[in-house]
Amino acid sequence: MPTVSQLERRKPWEEHNVFVSLVLAILVPGLGHLYQGRTVKGLIYLFGILGLFLWGVVLGEGVVVYNITDKGVTRKITLHYAAQFGAGLVSYPTLWQKQRMLKNNNSLRQLDRPLSANFTGYLVDTASDEENGKLVGVVKLQPTKGEYGPETSGIFVGKLNGRAIELPLAGNFFLDQPIAAGYRRTLKCGVASADQESVHQGRMIIGSIPRPIYNAYGVPPDPDLLQEVTGRLGKQHELALVFTWIAGLLNILAIWDCVQGPAYGFGDEPWMQPKNDAKSDPLTPEPTIPPTTATTSA
């Protein structure tokens, strides 16, 4: 049976620009295939590879995609991040997040603008360092002028161990860096007396507020955070890393399939054809031998 020539079978894909296909495939898994009109395979790569990568990010609580090089090492990209890099755009933020983290990224002891955010944490007795209960609610803070200079004060409205509560806040304020790994930003503040005349009662709220994804995703975690996350999640964090590595490596295969493909052949390669052996083919009829005519002598 004659095979289709390489030129003929690639003709539908050559109608699209190969360079554009390559760039799209590098940026987003499956996007190059969709551009070429190979919809089914493009969707499989898109949801399969990209979904696997993002699943890993969720499992690792966002502390997964990063590039941390050891001091004194000339290599700028670790093998950890090199595997993730193949997944495309979802891995690129790490390239500039490290630079953002090093510029104007200080923790705050005083607010310079009002802050309102959902808060999750604990009410703590600073004298004994004991927790008085879990807090869930909203903090509303603003900069104020105190007796000895600028201060941060406000209010917490929510629940303490499921019971409605309202706490006036003032003094001992601390807010973590705006740009850092992890989707929670540490916040601490002292609890004032009910009449807000006494700044310190020996109690504090200690917890966190949400950190926007654009300030958290791809940021290299500090050693303490990385140790806390890996210790708390255990094998789940390791599995999250493996998912992102597999996704990045799979997309390299998808890129090759898009530009050169298909990765698994067209199905008419010689090595994929069945052997043309009459004895091994049950559908091939046995050859017939014509009868011979015997001659007799008179």
Residue 124 near residue 203 (C-beta atoms within 8 A): yes
> What is the average pLDDT score of the chain?
81
Residue 28 near residue 254 (C-beta atoms within 8 A): no
pLDDT digits (tens, 9 = 90+) for 124-155: 987 766 677 899 999 999 998 866 778 889 99
Q: Is the model more confident about 205 or about 146?
A: 205
* Distance from C-alpha of 201 to C-alpha of 193, rounded to nearest angstrom: 6
Q: Where does 102-200 show beta strands of DSSP type E?
A: 115-125, 130-146, 149-160, 163-170, 174-175, 184-190
Confidence band, pLDDT 50/70/90 cuts, at residue 292: low
- Mean pLDDT is lowest, of 22-26, 76-80, 138-142, for 76-80
Q: What is the pLDDT of residue 133?
A: 87
Q: What is the pLDDT of residue 105?
A: 86
Question: How many CB atoms neighbour CB 35 within 10 A?
Answer: 17
State the virtual CA torsion across 37, 38, 39, 44 in degrees, nearest 10: -150
pLDDT beyond 90 at 52: yes
- In one letter, which amino acid is 96? W
Q: What is the pLDDT of residue 196?
A: 45
Confidence band, pLDDT 50/70/90 cuts, at residue 102: confident
Report how far apart, in Å, the C-alpha atoms of 266 and of each of 5, 77, 262, 269, 273 are.
Answer: 11, 37, 7, 7, 11
Q: What is the pLDDT of residue 141?
A: 94
pLDDT beyond 70 at 8: no
Average pLDDT of the residues in 230-235: 90
Element housing 204 (H / E):
strand 203-210
* Distance from C-alpha of 95 to C-alpha of 217, rounded to nearest angstrom: 11
pLDDT beyond 80 at 14: no
State the virtual CA torsion across 174, 175, 180, 183 in degrees, nearest 10: 120
* Distance from C-alpha of 195 to C-alpha of 142, rounded to nearest angstrom: 18
* Distance from C-alpha of 2 to C-alpha of 210, rounded to nearest angstrom: 64
* Distance from C-alpha of 121 to C-alpha of 187, rounded to nearest angstrom: 9
In the chain, the domains with their CATH numbers are 1-103+221-266 (no CATH), 115-215 (2.30.29)
pTM, entire model? 0.71
Q: Kindly state the percentage of the chain with pLDDT values over 90.
A: 46
Report how far apart, in Å, the C-alpha atoms of 292 and of each of 79, 285, 289, 295, 297 are.
Answer: 76, 21, 9, 10, 16
* Distance from C-alpha of 127 to C-alpha of 116, rounded to nearest angstrom: 28
Radius of gyration of the chain (CA): 32
